Structure 1
């Protein structure tokens, strides 16, 4: 188990033992916790397991070279925000450009000068820490945030809470948005482009509501790629579980009938409810017929009135 309480963690990736030794000793002396990897595959594995604060990455290694390692790290949301400083003996423009295009934030040339490396690490680790703290602060206030590409739903970065919500509501796998959220995002991108006001998406699962909203102030802001296809989404979660359960018990409804009645009270149409619950408007209509029968009413307004009265009664007794 790595103790990171009082120090930043640096992963050094180099296939030359002498380089590893020099850097390890210098970093250790200045109080960093150091991990090493001697090839690309090992680097990917250790980065995913330890999530270092920064990676020093040799550009040219046998097998999986540093450029490919960087591309894979940046493609994985779990490691995409880790700063990568390339170490290379190649100073030609094409190699420097390759380093930045692969996701590097900086580079140092060999032979390595430890004091230069230490200065660059300190600057980049501080910046990464500030960005991480900002994202964690969003989570602390319940605002799960992620950046995605509208074209294909690729998750570019996400806060820990955002990843948790995506998985819990089954609307993404942490790397890709699910179809329902992606369809919504692409539609709202069109609305935004034509000067309209984007609408939030609400989905329900097991008595919990997930609301996904487009952060208009940061939409189309460019991001790392400079394109207008990257969007900042903010997700929040609320629980209706206790109210839905109470409605089910009060009127002897099935779990799905209670959910349908709950959303009728919220003023949602059958189409809206179908989208929220992941079913068709026709199925919602069938459930609603059963609800009317059990409540002894004939209209949505009457059903909503009975349900609202019950909800107020429950609130008064809490």
Structure 2
């Protein structure tokens, strides 16, 4: 399992020894004295519940089923591609206490902005563990460590975050299942929303500049192609990097390729 820095927090933790050992299989989980092993939702029952969600369209029921399947206590589904926007609009659905969501929001935004495009790509379906802010008040019995699983729905990137009890070992096998099934549920219920089709609010000119950057053109060459000044081209490129939360032209190109913008 890759030890990649989570986009969610600069205080991301490497998996502790118990979690690493748990990757050997769920049948070994009960061998650890520190493990809390509740009765987990069987996979067949999970699939039945998700089938019901598909017919009713109740996202919260599907997220609760996935939460029960991994043995977590609370879930939060977020749109990673909207983290750079103001407010809490990036939250799709959550049963975390509101104050906790508000406390963690700034950490999520800062952590996502620090991540490179390569790190964001490598995080897909890889469980990441991080700590809640010291000032955050967690629910009774919950660990300050939380787990996130990231997945794509079309051009949108989402992350399903779990709170779990102190001493509980999350199963990597079940987390991988959840990543795949959460992607299915979110896709079926169109959790990407209408913003999936807006090309991340890039204007036509910004998309043109992004295309020519990907073709290896310099600002002077793009200015000549489009018939506008070099300074205007640089302003468009700066706007592209701001909207896509990238730091360099190379990262902007990687973002564009990953999201089928060029």
Which TM-score applies when normalising by structure 2?
Answer: 0.26
User: Whose radius of gyration is greater, 1 or 2?
Assistant: 1
Which TM-score applies when normalising by structure 1?
Answer: 0.23
